[in-house]
Amino acid sequence: MSRLHFDQDIQPLSEFRAGAASFIRQINETRRPIVITQRGKGVAVILDVAEYEAMQEKIELLEEVQKAEQQLSSGLGISNCDARAKVLQSINN
């Protein structure tokens, strides 16, 4: 996802309502999210579906890494040598 351009990507709700189609087109073209504000405070972020899906995949991967680190610190892991031997054994059988 591209970085936010504060002068273009932060819009009040009233302006978003008035020009929703053009803002959606901007999101699709730039791949940058738009932050919607109400009374000067951020209330929503709108982003391209593909960007959202990519972000979800990254979050899932990070959660898996965190889970693996917790398992390793609990002593549930196996050494690289043992893992390699198991993989090779399953391939050869």
| Secondary structure (H, E, C), 56-92 | HHHHHHHHHHHHHHHHHHCCCCCCHHHHHHHHHHHHH
Can you give the pTM of this predicted structure?
0.66
The third-level CATH classification (topology) of the domain covering 6-47 is: YefM-like fold (3.40.1620)
- No. of helices (H) and no. of strands (E), the chain: 5, 3
**Percent of the chain with pLDDT strictly greater than 90:** 73
Q: What average pLDDT does range 24-46 have in this prediction?
A: 94
Q: Are 69 and 62 in contact (CB under 8 A)?
A: no
Q: Is 92 left (phi over 0), alpha (psi -120 to 50) or beta?
A: alpha
**Percent of the chain with pLDDT strictly greater than 70:** 99
Q: List, for residues 47-84, the tens digit of each pLDDT value.
A: 999 999 999 999 999 999 999 999 989 988 888 898 89
- In the prediction, which pLDDT does 80 show? 86
Per-residue DSSP letter, 4: P
Strand partners, 44: 36
